[in-house]
């Protein structure tokens, strides 16, 4: 009979929540109060969000680990993303944890991504501690939110044991937690005590040999590839010879050059690692997320990390515009291929496939936001590339075409309910629920195809004058709901190369909304604006004013152009049609036609009409 023991000095806990419900801020406070920093030490806010993009956008993109020590117990904390597009990160985190801290905003309550991350947690069978955060908000409604949390647990088929969760109230920003909403806590000690008391210590078989599941990969300029994961059984020592079991069941020999464990937000070298601890192994080259590292004598693979299938694909290709190579360091397809392959090693939710064209790659992921983050990261690293419009991935079953669906939650003022419902019905959305809170705001639920949301978010903010909140949750596959227009406007396309001229742009303004300013470089096939009709229009943005001998009053008045809002990467990806691309460089984001030559596009249109 198999014996089971527990590592009493370790707790592994994941922090899960919807975007902006205060996970990272709470972790900062736990660091401060566990004695990780000196009382007078200056520390950055949001320590765990160490990527530039995370700090700029105020969201967590990659799951990260850290540890604090409380009453001689080491608490390994895994800070997970709240956005469903980074679901692969959530699944990785769950493979390392024994419990989860569910953070819910005292005003907003459980939102779609709360449902998403909690579903993954309950499926993994983890012990959940519920923390209702931000109880100091003026619009806090802690009692109603608690009822909503119970409803959510029941809705997700939680077991009786999971329903009896420990409950705390917190003000993460002030570093305060308490058991009752009416009392006033002084610190987070009650939260730390609850984690130690309620989260089960990691269990292991004392007779089993060493087994570790690789849940994350990193890279060090000094140590090479780093494998991060939890030890399920046995002990690890530095300079030990082990094997890695990959997805094909092959046994690859490896030698651990350095063994490290988490201490605060960094690492410390250790000679021996115990079962249940989360460690970093160095000196391992051919390892991937989901592999098992074990001994040569008794190689037994652990269950691999399962990640939901991708729902969105995008084409990445080399930059073929006349301005290619002027702003970026990496322009060759081999460099782009190498970078995308590196991304698949670190991000389990991204897949890359070759296409018929050697210079184009099909990248599949969980959402266009995840793709935009990858593209933004690449351009900051010095890459130049072109990307196409995001496309949903269809499935064929029983002769029917199925498409990914989203459960969409809209929170907006009553006055905007009509326009939101109308726009979503055009995009094949179906209203499934409507709740009027009686405070001038309504919460509407829709069932919509995933492709309906590509490009809709910006339109939604405009329609609701910036006051609407929209959240979606992947709801599986359903029958294809038919075509709908993705855009009701055409493009203003430059018919020649040159630079933008104020006189020409002023005369083009009545035709639509411009994307360029005077002196911006343009080329044939580049999109310089949005046409206010649904057709494309070839224009000359380089046309200069003809000089005459005659001078009259007002003849040489200076031209005043409407201000041009700089095109963001997300806006560009949402704007383009199927025959258009976004040219991305470290300095610029330009829109262009896939076929640059105006005469070639004209010929192709003629052929399409004949075939129709």
| Degrees to nearest 5, angle at CA 120 with 118 and 121 | 60
* Residue 187 annotated as lining a ligand binding site: no
In whole angstroms, what separates CA 381 from the centre of its chain? Answer: 18
- How many helices and strands, by DSSP H and E, does the chain display? 14, 37
* Residue 180 annotated as lining a ligand binding site: no
Q: What is the helix (H) or strand (E) element at residue 261, kind and residue range? A: strand 258-263
Look up tokens 């939650």; give the residue: 409
Sign of CA dihedral 400, 403, 404, 410: negative
Cβ neighbors of 547 (< 8 A, separation 6 or more) are: none
In order of 386, 408, 419, the CA distances from 462 in angstroms are 28, 18, 11
* Residue 24 annotated as lining a ligand binding site: yes
* Residue 135 annotated as lining a ligand binding site: yes
Length of the chain: 612
User: What does the DSSP assignment read for 320-374?
Assistant: -STTTTSS-SB-SHHHHHHHHHHHHHH-TT-EEEE-SSTTEEEEEES-HHHHHHH
* Residue 133 annotated as lining a ligand binding site: yes
* Tokens (6 digits) for 461: 């903010």
Classify residue 139 as exposed, middle or buried by CB count within 10 Å of its CB (0-12, 13-18, 19+).
exposed
* Residue 21 annotated as lining a ligand binding site: yes
Backbone phi, then psi, for 259, in 5-degree steps?
-120, 125
SS3 90: helix
* Residue 23 annotated as lining a ligand binding site: yes
Backbone phi, then psi, for 415, in 5-degree steps?
-65, -20
User: Which residues are part of a known binding site for GTP?
Assistant: 20-25, 133-136
User: Which residues are part of a known binding site?
Assistant: 20-25, 133-136
């Amino acid at each position: 009979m198999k014996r089971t023991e527990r590592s009493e000095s370790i707790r592994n806990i994941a922090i899960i929540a919807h975007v902006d419900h205060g996970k990272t801020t709470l972790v900062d406070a736990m660091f401060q109060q566990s004695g990780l920093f000196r009382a007078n030490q200056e520390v950055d806010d949001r320590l765990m969000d160490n990527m530039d993009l995370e700090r700029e956008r105020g969201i967590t993109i990659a799951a990260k680990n850290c540890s604090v020590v409380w009453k001689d117990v080491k608490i390994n904390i895994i800070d997970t993303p709240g956005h469903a597009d980074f679901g692969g990160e959530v699944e990785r985190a769950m493979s390392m944890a024994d419990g989860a801290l569910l953070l819910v905003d005292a005003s907003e309550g459980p939102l779609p991504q709360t449902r998403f991350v909690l579903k993954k947690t309950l499926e993994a069978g983890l012990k959940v501690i519920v923390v209702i955060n931000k109880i100091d908000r003026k619009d806090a409604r802690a009692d109603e939110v608690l009822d909503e949390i119970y409803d959510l647990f029941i809705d997700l088929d939680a077991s009786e044991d999971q329903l009896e969760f420990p409950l705390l109230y917190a003000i993460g920003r002030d570093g305060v937690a308490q058991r009752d909403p009416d009392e006033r806590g002084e610190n987070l000690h009650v939260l730390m005590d609850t984690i130690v008391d309620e989260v089960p210590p990691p269990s292991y078989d004392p007779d089993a040999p060493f087994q570790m599941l690789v849940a994350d990969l990193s890279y060090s300029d000094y140590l090479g590839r780093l494998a991060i994961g939890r030890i399920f059984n046995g002990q690890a020592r530095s300079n030990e010879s082990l094997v890695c079991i990959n997805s094909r069941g092959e046994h690859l020999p490896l030698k651990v050059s350095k063994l490290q464990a988490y201490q605060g937000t960094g690492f410390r070298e250790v000679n021996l690692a115990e079962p249940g601890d989360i460690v970093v192994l160095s000196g391992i080259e051919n390892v991937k997320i989901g592999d098992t590292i074990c001994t040569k004598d008794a190689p037994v693979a652990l269950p691999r990390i399962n990640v939901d299938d991708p729902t969105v694909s995008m084409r990445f290709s080399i930059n073929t515009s006349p301005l290619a190579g002027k702003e970026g360091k990496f322009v060759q397809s081999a460099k782009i291929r190498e970078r995308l392959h590196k991304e698949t090693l670190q991000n389990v939710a991204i897949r890359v496939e070759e296409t018929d064209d050697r210079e184009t790659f099909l990248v599949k992921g969980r959402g266009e936001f995840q793709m935009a983050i990858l593209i933004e990261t690449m351009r900051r690293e010095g890459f130049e590339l072109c990307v196409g419009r995001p496309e949903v991935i269809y499935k064929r079953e029983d002769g029917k075409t199925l498409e990914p669906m989203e459960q969409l939650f809209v929170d907006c003022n009553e006055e905007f309910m009509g326009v939101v419902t109308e726009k979503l019905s055009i995009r094949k959305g179906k209203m499934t629920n409507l709740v009027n809170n009686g405070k001038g705001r309504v919460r509407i639920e829709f069932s919509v195809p995933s492709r309906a949301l590509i490009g809709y978010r910006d339109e939604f903010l405009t329609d609701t004058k910036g006051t609407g909140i929209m959240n979606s949750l992947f709801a599986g596959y359903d029958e294809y709901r038919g075509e709908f227009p993705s855009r009701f406007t055409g493009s203003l396309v430059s018919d020649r190369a040159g630079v933008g001229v104020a006189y020409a742009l002023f005369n083009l303004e009545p035709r639509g909304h411009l994307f360029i300013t005077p002196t911006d470089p343009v080329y044939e096939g580049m999109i310089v604006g949005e046409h206010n009709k649904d057709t494309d229009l070839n224009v000359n943005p380089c046309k200069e004013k003809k000089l005459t001998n005659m001078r009259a009053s007002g003849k040489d008045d200076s031209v005043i152009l409407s201000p041009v809002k700089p095109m963001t990467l997300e806006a560009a990806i949402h704007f383009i049609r199927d025959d258009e691309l976004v040219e991305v460089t470290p300095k610029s984001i330009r829109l262009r036609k896939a076929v640059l030559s105006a005469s070639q596009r004209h010929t192709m249109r003629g052929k399409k009409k004949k075939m129709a």
